[in-house]
Structure 1
Amino acid sequence: MAASEVHYRRILLKLSGEALAGNQGYGIDPTVIGNIAQEIKDVTDLGVQVALVIGGGNIFRGVAAASKGMDRASADYMGMLATVMNSLAMQDALEQVGILTRVLSAIEMREVAEPYIRRRAIRHLEKGRVVIFAAGTGNPYFTTDTAASLRAMEINADIILKATKVDGVYSADPKKDHDAVKYSTLTYLEVLKKGLQVMDATATSLCMDNDLPIMVFDLTVDGNIVRAVKGEDIGTIVKGG
């Protein structure tokens, strides 16, 4: 495939922690993470620069713990550490398929990850390495969606690819409502006004303020990440009006 077929040259791929758990619902499924790593390799083989942000919901959910009485800041820090565990697992899976990978953590832990420095992250990308941003923004009360938006803007990504288990954004849950309508495109304001589950309001507002498009697509279909970087119509694009 010629590089000219690639629509996006630098992407930020946002994965939920649940995506790594597969059907088991918690922890990390080695087969699933191996398949994701192979798809990312297919993308990097096209010359696309790839950064990742991975959630921690398969290990620990800060919001859920806070709702049961735990201090919210403490719960969020635990959630950030869960994202580091997922990032290290993904780094290992990527290196097993021959991709040089760096984990940059917003919380300093030099024994396992590099500290997050914007220029260093960009330099890694320019050298063809996959960069995984761990520990969210390093601050409680912010989701990994917001971290993805922030990091995508800091590295001048062309788009955020939000991988989910459905093939786009619907007017209602398509599994519960057979009349749910899939949107091919949406504006940031439509997402905010309709309360659609694309990214949280802070992340969506950040993207809107900086005109950074978001594509929501189905990760469970083989080859979809490649299709996404080629600009194929496989999901829902959120962009300016």
Structure 2
Amino acid sequence: MPNPAYRRVLVKLSGEALQGPGEAGLHGPTLVAISNDIAEARRAGFEVAVVVGGGNFFRGVKGTAQGIDRVRGDSIGMLGTVMNALAIEGALVGHGCEARAMSAVAMPTLCDTYERNMARRHIEAGRVVVLGGGTGNPLFTTDTAAALRAVELSCDALLKATNVDGVYTADPKLDRTATRYERLTHDEAIAKDLKVMDTAAFALARESRLPILVFSIQEPGAITAVLTGKGRFTAVVP
């Protein structure tokens, strides 16, 4: 049975997680594998929302090197997040899991426009809500959007999917002496300037007393494993 403390959760996926071994775009097998993990968590009885980034298509912060101003670049990036949300929605439906893509940027011919009460009703009806468009504003990351939506939708925890099994003192792929934290407070994560999420996201989670569970999406069944206490993760808590 699901841990009642984390019955409703929001999973934050980066766009890069969907590109697999490629340098950009969507990698079909990776999309299917991640969507299967999300569907498995829903079948296990958890209520799930997803916020997805768009870095596999375009990152606004890097657009300045190409002569694109930050606001315009972020707008392009938001379009990338909606493409990813539609792809995840389609893959979930293909797994037999009801899902609904919603965008903070109105695109009514493509998907529903995000509205808090409607999103909550979808979740309560057993659908996975896949949220694109970030916050709907430039200059805010999808990490911040994830914390915001998790609070708005009364989620019990935010699951931050990464390519390592938690938060480390340094990048474990570059520093072999890096050690993994089992547990941190929001204040410690901000003070140590840990890069797993941006400061605004940590601050919003702290104010709302929202736990953040940082885990690796690389292992099959990772989401359900974390929620049932069988997986490895770092808990960032009030």
2:35 corresponds, among 34, 37, 41, to: 37
Give the match for residue 49 of structure 2.
51
How far apart, CA to CA, are the structure 2 residues paired with 1:199 and 1:226? 22
1:170-181 aligned at under 5 Å gives the runs: 170-181=168-179
Q: TM-score, structure 2 length as denominator?
A: 0.97
CA distance in 1, matches of 2:143, 2:3: 28
How far apart are residue 4 of structure 1 and its match?
A: 4.8
| Alignment CA distance shift 1:156-1:50 (3 Å) | same
1:81-230 matches, within 5 Å, as: 81-230=79-228
The secondary structure found in structure 1 opposite 2:105 is: coil
Tell me if the contact between 2:166 and 2:214 (Cα under 8 Å) persists in the aligned partners: yes
TM superposition shift of 1:38: 1.2
Quickly say closer, same or farther: Cα 1:4–1:17, change in 2 above 3 A: closer
Q: Which stretch of the first structure deviates more once superposed, 66-75 or 113-122?
A: 66-75
Residue 18 of structure 1 corresponds to which residue in structure 2? 16
Structure-2 separation of matches of 1:7 and 1:40: 18
Amino acid at match of 1:118: R
In structure 2, do the counterparts of structure 1 residues 29 and 198 end up closer, same or farther at CA, with 3 Å as the change threshold?
A: same
* Cα distance in 2, alignment partners of residues 98 and 200 from structure 1: 34
Q: Which moved more, 1:36-45 or 1:80-89?
A: 36-45
How many residues get paired?
238
- 1:68: how far off? 4.0
| Letter paired with 2:216 | D
Do the aligned partners of 1:7 and 1:231 also contact (CA within 8 Å) in 2? no
User: TM-score, normalized by length of structure 1?
Assistant: 0.96
Q: Which moved more, 1:4-13 or 1:220-229?
A: 4-13
Gapped regions of structure 2 (runs ≥ 5): none
Question: Would you say 1:237 and 2:224 are equivalent positions?
Answer: no
Q: Aligned letter for 1:173?
A: D
What is aligned with 1:74?
Answer: 72
Confirm or deny: 8 A CA contact 1:39 1:226 kept in the other structure: yes
**Separation in 1, partners of 2:151, 2:236:** 15
State the shift of 1:37 in Å: 1.3
Deviation of the 1:69 alpha carbon: 3.2
Tell me if structure 2 keeps the 8 A contact 1:184–1:237. yes
Counting aligned pairs with the same residue, the percent is 46
**Which contiguous aligned blocks of 4+ residues in structure 1 show a shift greater than 2 angstroms?**
3-7, 66-69
Q: How far did residue 141 of structure 1 move?
A: 0.3
Asked if the contact 1:8/1:230 (under 8 Å) is kept, the reply is: no
